[in-house]
Structure 1
Amino acid sequence: MAELQEHEHGAGHDYAKGSPHIRHHTIRNRVIDDLHAVVGDVMDRNGKCRVLELGAGHGTFTDHLVAAGAEVTVTEMSRPSVDFLQRRFRHNPNVTVLHDTDGNLGCQTGQFDVVVCISVLHHIPDYLGSTKQLIERIVPGGAFLSVQDPLWYPRRSEVSMTLDRGAYFLWRLGQGEMRRGIATRLRRMRGVYDGTSEADMVEYHVVRKGVDEEALQALLAPAFEDVRLRRYWSTQAGLLQSIGDRFCPPTTFGLIAMRRCSQ
């Protein structure tokens, strides 16, 4: 998985291109507001906030965590992305960059007040097991935030799935590599997945049929005083995002778990 992640997110990779939470201000601002709220809550309680940010990409949201007052440890599986992050934050003592070579989600790095997963869980085959490990790394009073994962397909309506895939296809029309995209879609419709393909294994939700938001919520609920689930529309194209925000059923979700209970 690490090799596929590194190949998919190599040198010069543009994280914003296919990432609605980075491209669209409506989603991005909600994420930023949530980050400030979570860090602020911990800062008010403890006077400091140690954050583990998993899969930070090029640090789009790391700046906001630092601005909120946090000390941030960021992880990345892609060596080129790690190099980029180390250059970007080389003069910032409040940011530590780790190369996550074996996909252990930074669990070797100790305890934290907040764990942040932005567009991460859907890449992980055993996301429930990984989330359970992460919860154990959060100190009492801390928080867990995860956003931008696709809703579990079996629970979604046919209208939701059709609109979601249609919006993605229309966006793809302007991106090139249409022959490859159509071949991939036909292969997946037959239930065939390629273990050597970045498109299948890096975006693991296509194999697993999304991410079970209710199972995650049930996992978090006993460990935190307050767990909030937010479902929302998300797609790559700007115009389709604006229309979908108003008229289309949700495709994506985020979870905020506040105030970790004493163990």
Structure 2
Amino acid sequence: MTITPVRPSMGELQEREHGVGHDYASGSPHIRHHTIRDRLIGDLHALVQQVPDRNGQCRVLELGAGHGTFTDHLVAAGAQVTVTEMSEPSVRFHRNPHVTVIHDKEGTAACQAGPLDAVVCISVLHHIPDYLGTVKQLIERIVPGGAFLSAQDPLWYPRRSRMSLCLDRNAYFLWRLGQGQLRRDLATRLRRLRRLRGVYDDANEADMVEYHVVRDGVDEDALRDLLAPAFARVEVRRYWSTQSGLLQAAGERLFPPTTFGLVAGNRR
């Protein structure tokens, strides 16, 4: 008798990749770079400060908060925050009265939350296979006058130039070398060659957690078109982002964008 293996859920894959002891900062130092970090913090404070002026409160859903790198800033700005995270070991803030934690192992709880004044997605949409469907459901939970903010997702590959993709991948490779992770980077490149042929392993967290590599990035124009009918203002921000601090500083001045964020305000 042939036994068909059970494919792990996305929550199980997330916990494998982001389990106990996982350090988000070492794997994602680009969001700690001062230019990116300061811009994000400024956007979060502006978002929270705009909503209480209308509603007297700010109920924020932060999707895939991880260790809560930016949750602290939402709370400091005056928000009541609900955070979701697939990986239970990643979740913090269990004793903060201003933060409600949802261990969302199936990835569905966020779309059932509400009503909400704002939704925040930082470095998370590229982990979600049906990110357009998820954002569509989240929009429905946002009350009139509310906002949607996303950041740190890779631009859609088919619209990027060969130079943009080459600079991005080589910058990442150089950072890996500096971390002493040559073997891991070579393995990543071999997987990427298989993915380019449409071959990937849906039971392998390395293939599925970084889902943008399978899906050719995240389509920023499709997201903008999805948000535009629901919000009076939608802005797409494209910028260079990489793990190396030195290459980040140089890339901001010299290199083409690799990454984008979206800010949508005044929900209709």
In which range does the TM-score fall when normalised by the shorter chain?
over 0.9
Contact 1:230 1:255 in 2 (8 A): yes
Residue in 2 aligned with 1:223? 230
Q: How far 1:186 sits from its partner (Å)? A: 2.3
Runs of 5+ unmatched residues, structure 1: none
- 2:154 — aligned with what? 150
Aligned mate of 1:198, from 205, 226, 229: 205
Separation (CA, whole Å) in 2 of partners of 1:65 and 1:247: 32
Matched, 1:47 2:56: yes
Matching residue within 106, 113, 127 for 1:102: 106
1:85 maps to 2:85:
no
**Structure 1, residues 221-240: CA drift from partner, whole Å, max 9, x if none?**
00000000000000001001
**In 2, distance between residues paired with 1:64 and 1:181?**
33
Does the alignment pair 1:247 with 2:254?
yes
Post-superposition CA distance 1:72-116 (Å, at most 9, x none): 00111111112x332xxx0x3111111001011522232100000
CA distance in 2, matches of 1:137, 1:26: 31
How big is the shift at 1:20?
4.0
Q: Which runs of 5+ in 2 are unaligned?
A: 1-9
Paired with 2:47 and 2:191, the residues of 1 have a C-alpha distance of: 41
TM-score, normalised to structure 1, is: 0.94
- The correspondence of residues 17-28 of structure 1 with structure 2, limited to 5 A, is 17-28=26-37
Percent identity of the aligned residues?
Answer: 75
CA deviations on 1:203-235 (whole Å, 9 max, x unpaired) are 000000000000000000000000000000000
2:116 to 85, 95, 112: 112
Shift of residue 44 of structure 1?
A: 1.3
The 5 Å alignment of 1:3-82 reads 3-82=12-91
Is this contact kept in 2: 1:23–1:236, CA < 8 A?
A: no
The equivalent of 1:182 in structure 2 is 186
SS at match of 1:85: coil
RMSD: 1.2
Question: Counterpart in 1 of 2:245?
Answer: 238
Aligned mates of 2:180, 2:207 — CA distance in 1: 18
- Amino acid of the residue matched to residue 121 of structure 1? L
Figure out how many residues of one structure are paired with residues of the other and give that number.
256
Distance in 1 between the 2:51 and 2:67 partners? 25
Shift of 1:70: 0.6
Aligned to 2:3: none
